[in-house]
């Protein structure tokens, strides 16, 4: 990603993001015991939305992770 990031115009950014675990149907089907400890999609969006919208060119080439509690 850093090679891509270096070649982008200054107004763009390439930021790989780990969304973390989200309590979805697929997650529950694979990890049913752990799913209740993970945020619902609505809870995730409330956290991830502002986080993603706050990313900018200064994070270009960096890997980030949605800052979920726990």
> Which segments of 1-70 are extended strands (E)?
17-18, 64-65
Residue 70 reports pLDDT greater than 70: no
pLDDT tens, residue by residue, 19-54: 999 999 999 999 999 999 999 999 999 999 999 999
pLDDT for residue 2: 79
How far apart are the C-alpha atoms of 29 and 24, rounded to whole Å? Answer: 9
- Give the residue extent of every domain in the chain: 2-65
DSSP β-bridge partners for residue 17:
64
pLDDT for residue 43: 97
3-class DSSP assignment, residue 10: coil
How far apart are the C-alpha atoms of 49 and 55, rounded to whole Å? Answer: 10
**Model pTM?**
0.81
């Amino acid at each position: 990603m850093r090679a891509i990031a270096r070649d982008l115009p200054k107004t763009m950014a390439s930021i790989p993001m780990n969304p973390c675990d989200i309590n979805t149907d697929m997650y529950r089907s694979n990890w049913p015991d752990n799913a209740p400890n993970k945020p619902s999609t609505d809870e995730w969006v409330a956290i991830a939305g502002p986080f993603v919208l706050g990313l900018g060119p200064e994070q270009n080439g960096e890997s980030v992770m949605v800052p979920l509690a726990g």
